[in-house]
Amino acid sequence: MKLITEEINKVEFITEGKGASKKCYIQGIFLQAEQVNRNGRMYPMSIMEKEVNRYNESFVLKGRALGELGHPDGPTVNLDRVSHKICDLHREGNNFVGKAQLLSTPMGKIASSLISEGVTLGVSSRGVGSLRMTNEGHKIVGEDFMLATAADIVADPSAPDAFVSGIMEGKEWVWEGGILREQLAETTKRRINTLVDQRRLEEHKLNLFNDFLSNL
């Protein structure tokens, strides 16, 4: 069984309630079936729907459906990196639409700050399963597919500069304290821009962001 991740970039950021009862959510398509995605994989509806039903029963309905900020290396959900809780996941045609509440964890607060500053974020499902190559040149996910999480929060890979732009623009506290903090932000941006390996980019962006905050 292989670790399988699929990224979807179109999700909405919504808020519900006011004041102390205000809650923030991301909402959109979390999973897709019966179509070859940009990674060259296709999930049969029978397999996806069966696994989503299991995931809903075992995790969503019990308040245990958690996701992380960034691209984890394995199928295990790391509690120290949890940013949100998936509270709904249902089928609409060949799509499975989800809704996730951003939590008051360190990673949840980072995700909320990035979104509120206009940074484009998406979601990435994470699971394990076998793959079978077809004569048409794409792979079909096998019946042993299991979701680790329906959605991790990830940055849009088409706009890597959005990460740094989002924390520098419109945030007065970034610039307070003078030149040192401004130079640190520029150094962080240059280091991000030199990461040419796309698979390493997401992991390094989060590490660099934490380094940036620790020096404020």
Alpha-carbon dihedral angle through residues 130, 133, 137, 138, given to the nearest 10 degrees: -20
Identified catalytic residue from 21, 71, 104, 165: 71
CA distances from 206 to 127, 130, 211 (A): 21, 29, 9
The pairs formed by 92-97 with CB atoms below 8 angstroms and a separation of 24 or more are: 94/32, 94/33, 94/34, 94/35, 94/45, 95/29, 95/31, 95/32, 95/33, 96/29, 96/30, 96/31, 96/32, 96/33, 96/48, 96/52, 96/150, 97/27, 97/28, 97/29, 97/30
Residue with tokens 């295990």: 76
**Cα–Cα distance, 123 to 11 (Å, whole number):** 7
Q: Is 90 a catalytic residue?
A: no
Q: Is 204 a catalytic residue?
A: no
Identified catalytic residue from 83, 84, 112, 124: 124
Which of the residues are catalytic? 71, 124
